[in-house]
């Protein structure tokens, strides 16, 4: 071979190495998963059917299963199929700090995507839309928030429902007494024990807690919709590679009909632990989102 062809061959080899190197140059969370061999999923203990615990460190739910599949796709993508998924319990208070400081890589629970939170974390495509309503005892005859004058209303500390209730109180002049449970199970207990006359929260959490209670038929979800909130998975900000990976995985599940099937499995069929059926057919907003996914925050829904 003459000098020119050796030079050309060397250039091709160098280009080949450079290409290979940049293809493997992972950043942010993807790099962390590849290097540490594990990914930490934050999840909830009583946000059925999105994310809840079956006891013994086992977590399950619509978002948990969806995230398992997303992470499987990502692990194959970054060539780390043996990476383990570690499940960590988070609460309404600590979910954002834990994602920010790196303890949790992706939070798959029931977190509302809103503008204030987007200053601290990033959200995936919206995969569930919840409406804030109230759960009451079936025999209480309450059908609207405005009938709660002078009554006790329970909600969970650290959730968006607290602020929603406060704004509603101010707007309509209805004066009720707020009682705060420290988590959803505690707030539902307040309703069950009679300390509260209504429990205001996202409708899926209400349905989940009613379904898991001792006598589900004693409770109903009633009242008008106080707020429409997009729920999505949450991860660190300023990590476009990870966001793209997550969004791509979600999009392909939406287009391929996988998310539809997952929805039916968790919202319209019997689910553990008590084989209760949430009986919540997919609403129009979510159907629209599956056709045209986006990650717009809650404030955009309120403007409609």
Partner 1 sequence: MNYHWEWQVFLRDDGSGRTYIEWMISAWGWTLSVAACAWVLALLIGSLIGTLRTVPQRGWQRVGDAWVELFRNIPLLVQIFLWYHVVPAVFTAFKDLPAFVLVVFALGFFTSARIAEQVRAGIQSLPSGQRMAGQALGLTLPQTYRHVILPMAFRIVIPPLTSEAMNIIKNSSVAFAVSIAEMTMFAMQAQEETSRGIEIYLAVTTLYVVSAFSVNRVMAGIEGRVRVPGTIGGGK
Nearest alpha-carbon partner for 298 in 126, 168, 170, 95:
126
Rounded to a whole number of angstroms, the minimum distance from the CB of residue 81 to partner 1 is: 36
* Residue number, 3 or 238, with CB nearest to partner 1: 238
Please tell me the distance from the alpha carbon of residue 241 to that of residue 234, in angstroms, as a whole number: 14
Total Cβ atoms within 10 A of residue 195: 12
Rounded to a whole number of angstroms, the minimum distance from the CB of residue 79 to partner 1 is: 35
- Residue 159 binds to partner 1 (criterion: CB under 8 A): yes
- Residue 162 binds to partner 1 (criterion: CB under 8 A): yes
Please list every residue from 192 through 211 that binds partner 1, using CB under 8 A.
193-194
Which segment (75-83, 114-122, 203-211, 286-294) binds partner 1 by CB under 8 A? 114-122
Which segment (55-63, 141-149, 154-162, 202-210) binds partner 1 by CB under 8 A? 154-162
Residue 127 · residue 231 · CB < 8 Å: yes
Total Cβ atoms within 10 A of residue 282: 17
- Pick one of 157, 252, 268, 285: the residue that binds partner 1 (CB under 8 A): 157
In the numeric block, which tokens belong to residue 142?
A: 């309450």
Residue 135 · residue 216 · CB < 8 Å: no
Instruction: Write the DSSP assignment of 237-251 as a string of letters.
Output: SS-HHHHHHHHHHHH
* Residue number, 169 or 218, with CB nearest to partner 1: 169
- Residue 169 binds to partner 1 (criterion: CB under 8 A): yes
DSSP SS3 for 106: strand
Residue 153 · residue 178 · CB < 8 Å: yes
- Residue 254 binds to partner 1 (criterion: CB under 8 A): no
* Backbone dihedral angles phi then psi of residue 225, each to the nearest 5 degrees: -80, 120
Rounded to a whole number of angstroms, the minimum distance from the CB of residue 181 to partner 1 is: 7
- Residue 101 binds to partner 1 (criterion: CB under 8 A): no
Contacts to partner 1 by CB under 8 A? 92-93, 96-97, 116-117, 119-120, 157-159, 162-163, 166-167, 169-170, 178-182, 186, 189-190, 193-194
């Amino acid at each position: 071979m003459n000098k020119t062809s050796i030079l050309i061959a060397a250039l091709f080899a160098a280009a080949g190495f450079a290409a290979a190197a940049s293809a493997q140059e992972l950043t942010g969370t993807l790099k962390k998963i590849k290097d540490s061999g594990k990914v930490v999923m934050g999840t909830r203990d009583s946000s059925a059917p999105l994310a809840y615990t079956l006891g013994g460190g086992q977590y399950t739910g619509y978002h948990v299963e969806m995230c398992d599949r997303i992470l499987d796709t990502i692990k194959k993508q970054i060539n780390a199929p043996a990476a383990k998924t570690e499940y960590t319990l988070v609460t309404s208070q600590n979910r954002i700090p834990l994602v920010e400081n790196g303890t949790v890589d992706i939070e798959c629970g029931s977190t509302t995507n809103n503008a204030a939170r987007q200053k601290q974390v990033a959200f995936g495509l919206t995969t569930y839309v919840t409406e804030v309503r109230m759960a009451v005892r079936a025999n209480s005859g309450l059908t609207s928030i405005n009938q709660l004058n002078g009554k006790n209303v329970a909600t969970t500390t650290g959730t968006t429902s607290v602020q929603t209730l406060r704004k509603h109180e101010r707007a309509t002049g209805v004066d009720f007494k707020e009682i705060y449970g420290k988590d959803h199970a505690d707030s539902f207990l307040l309703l069950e024990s009679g300390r509260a006359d209504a429990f205001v929260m996202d409708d899926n959490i209400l349905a989940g807690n009613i379904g898991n209670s001792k006598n589900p038929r004693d409770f109903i979800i009633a009242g008008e919709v106080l707020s429409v909130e997009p729920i999505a998975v949450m991860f660190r900000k300023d990590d476009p590679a990870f966001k793209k990976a997550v969004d791509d995985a979600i999009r392909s599940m939406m287009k391929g009909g996988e998310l539809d099937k997952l929805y039916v499995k968790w919202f319209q069929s019997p689910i553990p632990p008590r084989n209760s059926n949430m009986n919540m057919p997919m609403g129009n907003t979510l159907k629209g989102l599956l056709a045209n996914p986006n990650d717009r925050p809650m404030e955009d829904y309120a403007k409609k």
